[in-house]
Chain A
Amino acid sequence: MLSIYNGSLDVPKILKDWYEEEARSNYGAYIPFVGTVRSEDGIDGLSFDIYEPILETWFKNWQEKALQKGAIVKMAHSRGDVMLHESSYIAAVFSPKRRVALELIDEFVEDFKASAPIWKYDLKDGGRLYAKERSTAIKGSGLLAKGEK
């Protein structure tokens, strides 16, 4: 399940909903990761652009990868502005045994950071500034800088 919300995430509700959805699915482990906007560098919050068509493809590949291990992944992310101490990202893995879920949540969140088509902006002094220094070029970037000139 991939859910995109406008603005900050309702963490208790999402965690509860996911728990209830799988309460009778016979998974022994439910491992959520909750990302919260921290106060640093004088920001008022963060803002996000998402490109859903490619995000959906990326997420579908992860669902298939999880399924091969008998697990499922769920993810929620914010679009637009999220202020300090609010949440913009929740991911979770459900699996029959804990080890698969512990490893998968690590791989999933790291690949999310490196590959998911989401762009982050700092909200600061009334502006919305692309967080270029904290962003990661997707694997294979630079293709169009090459070629015959």
Chain B
Amino acid sequence: MIIVEFLGPIHKPDLELEISNLNELAKVLQEDAEVSEWLESCAVAVNNDLVCTLDTPLKNGDKVSLLPPVCGG
């Protein structure tokens, strides 16, 4: 089971999904009307490390975070 969390202003409860890589997550979220509009501007972290490829493998217990545009300070 993979936990997907949506940070900051997205305001969506965590999802628990049976997926094995980010490509599968992309498919699921592109069909989710609540988050699809955020995908273009979101960075992705797996277990708190930012990732840059959809081929990133996922294993049971991994946490995927979606980070919308930031503005600290």
Contacts and interface: CB of A to CB of B under 8 A. Distances in A.
Interface of A: 35, 48-51, 53-54, 57, 77, 88-89, 109, 112-121, 130-132, 134-149
B72 interface: yes
Contacts, number: 127
Given A137-B42, A144-B44, 14 more contacts: A54-B50, A89-B72, A119-B68, A130-B8, A130-B9, A135-B71, A141-B41, A141-B42, A142-B41, A143-B22, A143-B44, A144-B54, A145-B39, A147-B27
Interface of A is mostly: mixed
- Nearest 5 Cβ contacts at the A-B interface: A118-B72, A119-B8, A135-B69, A138-B43, A147-B26
Interface of B: 7-9, 22-23, 25-27, 29-30, 39-45, 48-54, 65-73
A121 B7 CA distance: 14
Given A119-B9, A147-B26, A138 B50 contact: yes
Given A113-B71, A117-B7, A149-B30, A142 B54 contact: no
